Structure 1
Amino acid sequence: MQPNIQHICQGGSAMELVSTVVGDNVTGIRDDCAVGPLIDVDSPAPEERIAFWNDIFAADKNMSQFDWQAEFLATCNQLRNLGREAAEVVIWAGSHPTEQALRRRVHWWLRSTPVKVSEVLVDIEDMADGTADRIHAPIACASVERLRLRFSHRLESTDYLRKQLADEWGALRDHGQGVRLWEGDRLLEYPIDHYDATLLALVEQQPVRFARVVGHAMAETGQSDCFCKWRFATLVRTGHLSLASGNFHDWLSAMICRDMLNH
């Protein structure tokens, strides 16, 4: 009889890919803990965390009715029950700040649990497109063959490593306010406006289609489209950029330009 193995990874595309590799019993955590305040993220009703995501998605009409309280309560329950009925918990993470934050978070939740913990860790060499100049290497961009190989050679986490990563999560959660970047095999904290200068440099005085600028911003920073759109909206709100036409509710047709007083 096969042992009961519980897998945990980032939600969305990563979860779909891991499920393709291992089948059922895959838990996906959707929250991106590489950005925003973390102080209350592990509570059932994290008010600061909810306020942060409400702000990011303020201009997204599709998310206006999203129940963040229910989402975070469900996430808390998933993490609280992790490993209770499993012989082994396998953490899947790439060299990406979102997944490395989740990796540490899972170890924190499992810190007092006797369950066996193993890890499937991927890097640039595992990416399906073989691109060497990637900013990050997330699970979702790895090839199925490499993930199968990594899973078959997964390493059991030692007690020392489990404590180290759990302690790192505790420090990140207590002090995290901005963005976390994966540098030198470590998660480093930067202010939330860390990318603003880069985003400003992508916009000239001549209006340009906002969707195009967002695409360039994602390539330059490695951040998600929702994060980049939010920072651009913040720069417009603070007068550093201007909307030449349209609005952020219809961002695919909007035009954006550099404010003449901030060129």
Structure 2
Amino acid sequence: MELRDILAIKKAIDSLGEGELKPYLRFILVKIKLMKEQEGTLETTVTELIELYDELMGLQEKRAVWYPVPACTHVHIVVGDSFAGSMKQALKGLGWAETHKLITLRENYAIGPLDGLDSPEGRKARSNWFRDNITEAFEAYTEFEEEYNELLDKLEQIPEQAEVIIWTSCNACEQTGMRHAIHLMRNKRNSISVCDACAVCEELYNRPDAFINYRHSGEIPADKIREALIHLDGKGKLCAPDITRLEWEWQEIMEQAGMLRIWRDSKVLEVPVDYYDQYLLEMLDKLKPPTDDNGFLKSARLIGEAIGYCEQYIGDSYFEYRLRELIYDGILEIKGVPAAMRFYSIRRKRRAESGPPVCSLIDESTQNSENTSP
């Protein structure tokens, strides 16, 4: 199989919403089980799996129906495939799919270099960083370029009469993505609104006795997004000074040389690359590994706990990257192969020469919370 085929398969899988993955996986596992038990003919099962493959690979063309068209009245710009999947379901549920179109920014803007992102050189530097540090980021630079050019093409297709709604929430990824979208639309004359999806849903649904505080829009189910769409009523419309300010803030973010960003005090702030190292080590110390595993803890469990208690939205891939760095630095020991978090376990290095302690840089905002996590 050639690299371009692997990349095409990965792109098809990444484009699936969270609710779409399980039915496909369930179907595949059932068919494999039938093959193992020799129930039904092998030829029939293979044919069905090939049909499923063709369907999945053709989903990209079906998704083209969400591209801006001349007659559309609204264009929604969202950050992340998970939120995009829920937004599509919400728009379909309201019967708005014909007039409301969708553009997805697929970047995790909280991590990796952003300097020069609007230039081929900057995009290549970002692609190289992900290739070198994030285990699942094996995409070629050419694919990164294709996605970026596709994004520009979609933005160019937005008709002048369409209202543009850029969705965001209180995290560095979506806040930075929102500013990037405004920068990319600087030559468009459309009306632009910014909507905080998490804040709207919390206002609509939270009660003193039952509430959810969302960290990113991808956590919101489609039915709640549908209600948020109904209650928009033209709120959040930006004036010219707002657009200028946000575009300038994007330029400031791009000038930062760091690889990690957080959202604090209504700003996207650059923090050191090892900002969460001490947090991960403290979390490791709190968790109890299985008694029969010589003190080793599955890295996937540690990362899951770290994500669950972290008030910032960073993504599991960055935590896994920092675990590997702690291993390389001699602070942690490893059992297994660090090809992906599910393949290895870790523990504190037990030799005295385990290296200097990692400086604590835990988010100040967490010191007043019930949790001791950033």
Q: TM-score range by the shorter chain?
A: 0.7 to 0.9
Output the CA distance in 2 between the equivalents of 1:129 and 1:258.
43
Partner residue of 1:255 out of 345, 362, 366: 345
- The question of whether the paired residues in 2 share the 8 Å contact of 1:179 and 1:190 is answered with yes
Output the CA distance in 1 between the equivalents of 2:338 and 2:247.
39
Partner residue of 1:90 out of 158, 161, 165: 165
2:304 corresponds to 1:235: no
Partner residue of 2:189 out of 99, 110, 114: 114
- The question of whether the paired residues in 2 share the 8 Å contact of 1:178 and 1:193 is answered with no
User: Cα distance, 1:68 vs. partner?
Assistant: 3.7
What residue number does 1:175 align with? 256
- Bigger CA radius of gyration: 2
Q: Tell me: CA distance 1:155–1:251, structure 2 relative to 1, closer, same or farther (3 Å).
A: closer
Give the letter for the 1:10 counterpart. V
Give the letter for the 1:82 counterpart. L
- The question of whether the paired residues in 2 share the 8 Å contact of 1:93 and 1:103 is answered with yes
Structure with more of its chain in helix, by fraction: 2
Give the letter for the 1:15 counterpart. A
Q: Which segments of structure 1 move beyond 6 Å, counting only runs of 4 or more?
A: none
Q: Tell me: CA distance 1:20–1:175, structure 2 relative to 1, closer, same or farther (3 Å).
A: same
Please say which of residues 97-106 and 85-94 is displaced more in the overlay: 85-94
Q: Tell me: CA distance 1:152–1:21, structure 2 relative to 1, closer, same or farther (3 Å).
A: farther
Q: How does 1:38-117 map to 2 (within 5 A)?
A: 38-44=114-120, 46-58=123-135, 60=136, 63-64=137-138, 66-79=139-152, 81-86=154-159, 87=161, 88-117=163-192
Secondary structure of the structure 2 residue equivalent to 1:175: coil
What residue number does 1:8 align with? 77
Q: Unaligned regions of 5+ residues in structure 2, if any?
A: 1-69, 92-96, 286-293, 358-374
Q: How does 1:155-174 map to 2 (within 5 A)?
A: 155-174=236-255
Give the letter for the 2:303 counterpart. V
Structure with more of its chain in strand, by fraction: 1
Give the letter for the 1:208 counterpart. L
- The question of whether the paired residues in 1 share the 8 Å contact of 2:201 and 2:225 is answered with no
Kindly provide the CA deviation profile for residues 232-254 of structure 1, in whole angstroms up to 9, marking residues without a partner as x.
011111111110x2112253242
User: Cα distance, 1:103 vs. partner?
Assistant: 0.5
User: Cα distance, 1:49 vs. partner?
Assistant: 0.3
Output the CA distance in 2 between the equivalents of 1:201 and 1:189.
22
Q: Percent identity?
A: 19
Secondary structure of the structure 1 residue equivalent to 2:269: strand
Q: Tell me: CA distance 1:108–1:203, structure 2 relative to 1, closer, same or farther (3 Å).
A: same
Q: How does 1:109-258 map to 2 (within 5 A)?
A: 109-124=184-199, 126-127=201-202, 134=213, 137-142=215-220, 143-204=224-285, 206-221=295-310, 222-243=313-334, 245-258=335-348
Output the CA distance in 2 between the equivalents of 1:203 and 1:72.
38
User: Cα distance, 1:80 vs. partner?
Assistant: 5.7
Output the CA distance in 2 between the equivalents of 1:228 and 1:255.
14
- The question of whether the paired residues in 2 share the 8 Å contact of 1:80 and 1:109 is answered with no
Secondary structure of the structure 2 residue equivalent to 1:27: strand
RMSD: 2.7
User: Cα distance, 1:186 vs. partner?
Assistant: 1.4
Kindly provide the CA deviation profile for residues 11-63 of structure 1, in whole angstroms up to 9, marking residues without a partner as x.
311111122223362111111111121112222451210111112334x4xx5
TM (normalized to structure 1)? 0.86
Select the structure with the greater relative contact order (CA < 8 A; seq sep ≥ 6): 1
Please say which of residues 172-181 and 40-49 is displaced more in the overlay: 40-49
Equivalenced residue count is 257
- The question of whether the paired residues in 2 share the 8 Å contact of 1:29 and 1:75 is answered with no
Secondary structure of the structure 2 residue equivalent to 1:252: helix
Output the CA distance in 1 between the equivalents of 2:103 and 2:257.
24
Q: Tell me: CA distance 1:151–1:133, structure 2 relative to 1, closer, same or farther (3 Å).
A: closer
- The question of whether the paired residues in 2 share the 8 Å contact of 1:240 and 1:259 is answered with yes
Q: Unaligned regions of 5+ residues in structure 1, if any?
A: none
TM (normalized to structure 2)? 0.62
